[in-house]
Amino acid sequence: MDKKILGKINSPQDVKKLDAAELKPLCDEIRETLIETLSKSGGHLSSNLGTVELSVALHRVFDSPKDQIVWDVGHQSYTHKILTGRKDKLSTIRTKGGISGFPNPKESEHDAFIAGHSSTSLAASYGLARAKTISGQDGHVVAVIGDGAASGGMFYEGINNIGRSHDRLVVVLNDNKISISKNIGGLAKYLSEIRVRPRYFKIKDRIERFVTNIPFFGRWLRRKIVSSKSMIKHAIYHMTWFEEFGFVYLGPVDGHDVTSLCEVLQRAKSLNKPVFVHVETVKGKGYKYAEDNPGAYHGVTPFDREQGNSVNKTSDGFSEAFGKILTELGKKDDRICAISPAMKYASGLDLFAKEHPRRFLDVGIAEPLAVTCAAGMAKNALVPVVAIYSSFLQRAYDQVLHDAAIDNLHIILAIDRAGIVGNDGETHQGIFDVAFLSTIPNVKIYSPSDINELEMCINKAIYKEDGVVAVRYPKGKPAEIPEKFALNSCEKTLYSSGLGDNKNCIIVTYGREYWACTKAVEMLESENTQADILKLVKLECTPEIIEILMQYKNVVFVEECVQRGSISELFGYELAKSGYKGKYVSRTLGNSFIPHQSIDEALTECMLDSKNVYKLIKEII
């Protein structure tokens, strides 16, 4: 496709210069660009195909960056990036040194607020709009939130506060009837009901125009009707839930009719008060495979656009294995329940949901609810397992501490995507869970290195432990560990190089880093150099472990975690307290946020790959 119109777009101002007749062709060219580019690079496809017209209309009507657009979650903002001077960088998206897959204010002044987690846009927009009101700044704030994100608690907190303000804030609900998994809850049902009555708004407008045109007292009568609200609205139809909270409600409007979108957004802008715009879109719009199966094309690896099949299909081995293990345990023990915060498929719980539907809960994008719900189930003698990404567990820290750990309630946290996750970048790296969980009393943490250990750890978490038990595992398949290092346990294992009794150096590690350490030791052994490995599975620092380490001249802890609050930091403290006289070195991820790049690139940059671990040991011994 010849992208003549898109070729003229280098900023939002260029969108405003287009003739109205050029808007639809522009959308077609953008959609083609998204399919063409993401079929080669991978990225978030379905969500962005669904927001092309909406993005164009937003930049046609509003004046970014004076008007600030906040994208919820942010994986639906690719067209926004194209229209704000980054179209030539789209092929670099989510790669090292390229543009982010999410809005990032460091990247562009048009990205008003960073967003990688769901349901935050209303709170952020409320703060931005309040600041404009208080300081007398010009401009509007627009929050674009999906119907799936509207299942999160912060959405309702935002609605409750924004509607009674007088700020220039427009909330745009991108209603595509699906998030990553099928939407859950009362709001999804409510939205499906009000979609069938857009005629109310047309009738309302006609009556208002009729009343206004009555000679002499028409305008006075209109003001009386509008100010009382109930007369006209209840005469035609009940008020929407959003109007009850103080919003002016506009919609539903066809999210793929760019002309209608521009009209309704212009009206919302002109009101200069909180407005709720309900936009209906089709996730995956314009690409048949994505329309038919939007969940499968939510986040894609490179694929054959003609056939629609993924070129580099990968299996998240740990996630799938976890789901199978829990499903089998559920067949033998009807106390076992599974809870997902809107990630049934990605977390491997689809099989459990199919086999044990009565014992499966999808609570929507509501991580705090998932954890406290689990605590309630545990209180009544069930064994709940919450499958949750590491970076999403951060949102339920208070619930783990206050609702579960204090009462020593037995819940299991199956923490997926623990450690570096790669191309999703800063907002999704699972590098903090060990640090914040290890400080909470009554919490035990397990970090298996392979599928066998994963099964052992889940069994022990369910049947041998009490209190909160976390089993954390990384994204993707486990690496193949050489047979002599495959020492499976759910506690700890000690590998000795067999090069004599020389207690020169021992490496302490856990989880995915065990593989890198085994490779480093193999390289050392090829040079007739000794280094032992103490692999932790249960992350604890016991007197027995300290006694083992005290025998070595050099202790090196290799850990895929932030430095502050890490297990290696705890070990350093305990060794010092025990009077250790040798050299202790910890190699961690440091104390900074890690940008988007591949997992291997990130581990190498942080010097946690096998070659860098080998170099570290060589320098020490």
Catalytic residue, chosen from 86, 94, 283, 472, is 283
- Pick from 593, 589, 599: which is nearest to 568 by CA? 589
Catalytic residue, chosen from 29, 280, 367, 453, is 367
Is 267 an active-site residue? Answer: no
Listed in sequence order, the residues at least 6 apart from 483 whose beta carbon sits closer than 8 Å to its beta carbon are none
Cα atoms found within 13 Å of the Cα of residue 305, Cβ hemisphere only: 15
Strand order in the sheet with 443-446: 360-362, 336-340, 383-389, 412-416, 468-472, 443-446
Amino acid at 342: A
Cα–Cα distance between 406 and 492 in angstroms, integer? 27
Q: How far is CA 457 from the centre of its chain?
A: 25
Amino acid at 32: E
Residue with tokens 């099928």: 182
Is the distance from CB of 188 to CB of 151 less than 8 angstroms? yes
Cα–Cα distance between 33 and 43 in angstroms, integer? 13
Listed in sequence order, the residues at least 6 apart from 411 whose beta carbon sits closer than 8 Å to its beta carbon are 371, 374, 375, 377, 378, 384, 385, 386, 404, 468, 469
Q: Compute the chain's Rg from CA coordinates.
A: 27
Counts of helices then strands in the chain (DSSP H, E): 26, 18
Cα–Cα distance between 344 and 583 in angstroms, integer? 46
Cα–Cα distance between 300 and 311 in angstroms, integer? 10
Is 367 an active-site residue? Answer: yes
Question: Tokens for 586?
Answer: 């910890």
Backbone region of residue 168 per phi and psi (left: phi > 0; alpha: psi in -120 to 50; beta: other values)? beta
Residue 504 to residues 496, 567, 621, Cα–Cα distance (Å): 11, 22, 7
Phi/psi at 11 (nearest 5 deg)? -160, 165
Q: What is the DSSP string of 536-548?
A: ESB----HHHHHH
The greatest distance separating any two alpha carbons of the chain, rounded to the nearest whole angstrom, comes to 105
- Pick from 185, 187, 186, 163: which is nearest to 175 by CA? 187
- Pick from 476, 420, 433: which is nearest to 593 by CA? 420
Catalytic residue, chosen from 81, 87, 168, 395, is 395
- Pick from 134, 201, 136, 133: which is nearest to 169 by CA? 133
Is 477 an active-site residue? Answer: no
Active site residues per annotation: 283, 367, 395
